[in-house]
Amino acid sequence: MSTGLIALLDDIAALAKVAATSLDDIAAQTIKAGTKSAGVVIDDAAVTPRYVVGFDASRELPIVSRIAWGSIKNKLLYLLPAALLLSFFAPGLITPLLMLGGGYLCYEGAEKIYEALFPHQAHEHEDQIGVVAGNPEHLEEERVAGAIRTDFILSAEIMAITLAGVPDSNFWTQAAVLALVGIGITIVVYGSVAIIVKADDVGLFMGRSTSQSIFGKVTRAIGRGLVIGMPYFLKVLAVVGTVAMLWVGGSIVIHGLAEFGWHWPEEFVAGIGKTIASGEYALAGVFRWIATATGSGMMGLIVGAILIPFVQFGVAPIWNKLKALKAP
């Protein structure tokens, strides 16, 4: 009996070691895969605040929380199982689907620039594709839905990068890493967004300090700076978000074309980086990144500009007819 008990304890200890090793492996791969997704995370954090610009301060956090919840559902309910199924049964479909998502980001970014340069024509375009501003509640619903759609594309890119970082792992390790990266990135992105959009309220609170000490004066100065500066910062961040969509979307399209054998766009963008920042000096890598990101963004702008009339005269009429059929 004692020998059997010892053997059982040995088995339990061995299982515990295997479990601990698996957990360590999942943690290590989660950190590695999450790090590779950092670029898309930055884009996501830059894109999201523009969806709360123009709303009452009391609606900012509820809107961010709704988008965050939609992001969690995007990653865990749709993208995680889809990524696992595609990687096992149809890996060849991943690139075309990512390219479709990249095209959507290019369209969104190009449409924002179109709206800024030609507001009248942009409003006519919105009328034709069925995007009409109504009351604040309707506008909020439209903004949240648009943010969740954009998040879906960015989340798909994050999940694809994560999956590519654990290609040789078993099914459960891949699933655990995808889930942990998805949840962790959502918390980081939308926690940061919540801090950004409420910074002016924090500044207002700090500006009301009545302390006459040096600390109180510094607190009031920082608070006034936040109140004055945050509206401009949000506008700048909205521009950064638009540029980020073009950059990420263009990059996805370029890499997808290379996967299908058309390497010229990727080689052209890479050539720009090498031409502008040749050599191995200290900041060469930074300048190359800026150059290639700019090239990808220009490619994204071209793709988006092509898609605007395609959506307006092709996709939108079909979509509006389908909505009309579904309407009671």
Single-letter code of the amino acid located at 19: A
Reduced to 3 states (helix: H, G, I; strand: E, B; else coil), residue 133 is: coil
Measured distance CA(100)–CA(102) in Å, rounded: 5
Single-letter code of the amino acid located at 99: M
| Whole-structure pTM value | 0.69
The confidence band for 298, taking pLDDT boundaries of 50, 70 and 90, is: very high
pLDDT for 304: 92
pLDDT for 127: 55
pLDDT at 23 over 50: no
pLDDT, mean of residues 206-218: 81
Measured distance CA(121)–CA(274) in Å, rounded: 38
The answer to which of 12-26, 186-200, 311-325 has the lowest mean pLDDT is 12-26
pLDDT at 5 over 70: no
Measured distance CA(61)–CA(256) in Å, rounded: 36
pLDDT for 282: 65
